[in-house]
Amino acid sequence: MEQSSLSINATVFLQAMVFAALVLVTTYGIYPRLRRVLEERAQRISDGMAESEQARSTQAASARESHRILVDARREAAQMIDVAHVRANELIAAAKEQAISVTQRDIAAASELMAREIEATRVALRAEVAGLSLSAASKILGRKVDATRHADLLDELKTELH
């Protein structure tokens, strides 16, 4: 029996030695490598999270900037439309003024032309009446009336009529 007791002690001792060797190999060989791999992975995850947060803040800033640009563009477009309306109204007013001016000029020219034509017609009518009067006076008097006497008679007639 003693032999079996020794063999159990030797077995336990050997198992303890193997266990101690396994702990040493794990502690100084495997664990540092595993820890380094885990730390690298944690660093990559941390870097990825930081990049993600930076991208999120960049996206938010870009969204704010694009919104600001859009608001500015709408404001500028509204101002351009207002300026175009004002300019269109100015052009319409100028065209109306020009049309009124041209119409008034045409009316004045037509009135002046009518006045000249009326005066020319009066002068022609007076000359014709004078000729007829001279002819009638010659027939009534039975003699010919000279042009000077005729003009004097017409002047007298004009003053009497006016």
Question: Residue ranges per domain, the chain?
Answer: 2-161
Residue count of the chain: 162
4 band by pLDDT with thresholds 50, 70 and 90: low
* CA angle in degrees (0–180, nearest 5) for 26-29-31: 60
The pLDDT value recorded for residue 1 is: 41
Please state whether the predicted TM-score (pTM) of the whole model is above 0.85.
no
Check residue 3 and give its pLDDT. 52
The answer to whether 160 and 133 are in contact (CB under 8 A) is no
What gap in Å lies between CA 73 and CA 15, rounded to an integer? Answer: 81
Helical H runs in the chain?
2-25, 31-141, 147-161
Q: Tell me the two tokens of residue 22.
A: 């396994």
